[in-house]
Structure 1
C-alpha cells in the first residue's frame, strides 16, 4: 500500500504541510474557484513544448494549422504552470488526463481531469476568440464556457434550446447589446453545466435547463441527469468578467438537487479568484 500523500515532500523540497494534498485541503476549506484567462500565441514557444508529454506532442503534430498547434501546446503548458503554482509543485510534475466519467467510468465522455498529482481537483478548459480559460475547483466537477459576444438574429430567439421563460425574457429586451448579452448569458450558463456533467446536447436537452438570464450573480440551475446517472443534478453557476466582448460562466455542484428555486438566485460556497496574465 502506498503511503498517504501527506508523507511525501513536494517537488520544491518542502514538507507535508506544503504537499499537494495539504494545499488541496486548504483550497477545499476555502471553497474558492480559480480561473485563469490568457491570450493564445501565434507560434509555438519551445519552453511550452518542453512541458508536453509524449501523447500531447503527438496530438500537436497532428494539427494542420500552426496556430491551432501553438494554441494546444500553450494551453497544456500554461495549465501545468497554473496548477503547479496552485498546488505548490513544478509544472513538469503536473499531468492532465483524458476525460473520464465519474459516474460510469466511460472514457468517451466526462469532464477534464487531473491525473497527477493524485488530488481530486476538478478542471475544465474553454476557448473563445483567441483566448483560453481554465477553471479549477475542489468540488466533484467543474465546467466553464466562454463565447464571443456577437449580434443575435431575431429568429434565433425561437430556437428549441431556449425555455419558454428564457425566450419571453429575451424578446422583451431591446435589440442590440443588452439582448445579445442576455442571450449569451443563457448559452454559457447551460454549456458550463453540460461540461461539468460531462455530456453534451445529444444527451441532455438544453430546453430542460432554466438559466434565469434576468438574474445577475450566482444562480442555481437544475440539470436532468445524464443517461449514466439518471435523476437531476443541481449546480451553482456564476458569470465571469473575463474581457470586454466575452460572455463566460463557471458551474460547480450545489449538492443534492432539491425543488427549483423560483428566483434562481444562489449563494456560492467561496469566491472566484481570477488570474489574469500580462497578455490577457
Structure 2
C-alpha cells in the first residue's frame, strides 16, 4: 500500500480557523480540561489510516507488531477526531506533533502539542492495559497517566520510587485490592506530573515527589527543579520546586489514572470532563 499524501497541506481554511479560535476562547474562559479513554484495537482500521499524515504512516510501517501498529494508528486518528469535535473542525484539519524539548533540544521527549489549528491547546497521551487516555487543556502544559491495576508484590516497600510517607501508608493498608489501587494511584499521579513537566531536571527522582496517597480526588504536588528553568510553567518556589494540581480520574474500575496541570497559572484549573466509550462527556471535579 502506498502511503497517503499529506492531507493537511491542502485542507482547512479561514472558516475552520475562526471556528476553532472561538471554541478555544470559550474553553479557556472556563478552564475546562477534557479527557478521553478508549480501548486499543487488535487490527488496523483503514478509516484510521486515512487520517494519518505521511510521517505517521511511515512510523506505523516501522512497528513490527500488528497490535502495536494498530494501537499507534488508532491513537493518532482518535485523537484527531476527539480534538476536532472539541474545536468544531474536521479531523483532517487537526495536526498533532512532538517537537524538540524546549529545554535541551532532544526530539525524543518534547511536549506533545497541537500544531493545527493554530490554538494553544495542551495535549498529553498515555497507554496502559490495552487502553489509551488523552487529556486536552487550555493551560501551558498538561500531563496524563493511567496504570492498569494488578497485584502488587509483597516487597512493595522496596520500590525505589516511593517516598518514606508513601511506603508507610501502603504498609498500613491490607494486602489485596485496596493496597493495589493506592499503589498505582501513587505512580499515576507522579507520572502525570513528569509528563506535564516534559523535561525532567537532572537528578530529579520519583521518590522526591510526594503524591499524598491518603488524599483522594485532588492534591497539590511539588516537583524539585531549578529556579528559572526555561520552559517550566506554573508556580515556582525559591528552592526550585514547581507546584502541580493533580486530579484523579475515574475512567475504569481496572485502572488508576490522573491528570496534572501547573498551579498558579491562568486560567485556573476548571472542571474535568471525561469522554468514555458509548456516552457523552461526564463532568468531574467541581464541574457544574
TM-score category, normalised to shorter length = 0.7 to 0.9
Deviation per residue, 1:86-140 (Å, 9 max, x gap): 1111101101111443456553423211111111100010111111110000111
Distance 1:251 1:197 in 2: 9
Shift in Å, 1:25:
1.0
Distance 2:226 2:66 in 1: 36
SS in 2 for 1:154: coil
State the match for 1:244 in structure 2: 253
The Cα RMSD (Å) is 2.2
Ranges in structure 1 where 5+ consecutive residues have no aligned partner: 1-6, 257-267
Q: 1:106/1:62 Cα in 2 relative to 1: closer, same or farther (>3 Å)?
A: closer
State the match for 1:197 in structure 2: 197
1:33 correspondence with 2:11: no
Which stretch has the larger CA shift, 148-157 or 56-65?
A: 148-157
State the match for 2:213 in structure 1: 213
1:254 maps to which of 224, 242, 263: 263
Which stretch has the larger CA shift, 52-61 or 146-155?
A: 146-155
1:93 correspondence with 2:99: no
1:9 correspondence with 2:18: no
**TM-score, normalised by the number of residues in structure 2:** 0.83
* Contact residue 246 and residue 261 of structure 2 kept, 8 A: yes
Q: 1:97/1:71 Cα in 2 relative to 1: closer, same or farther (>3 Å)?
A: same
State the match for 1:66 in structure 2: 66
Deviation per residue, 1:12-71 (Å, 9 max, x gap): xxxx4xx21121111011111100011111111111000000000000000111111111
* Contact residue 101 and residue 199 of structure 2 kept, 8 A: no
State the match for 2:161 in structure 1: 161
Deviation per residue, 1:211-256 (Å, 9 max, x gap): 0000011100011126954822111001111111111111011127
**TM-score, normalised by the number of residues in structure 1:** 0.85
Distance 2:213 2:107 in 1: 33
Query: How many residues are treated as equivalent by the alignment?
Result: 256
SS in 2 for 1:255: coil
Distance 1:58 1:106 in 2: 21
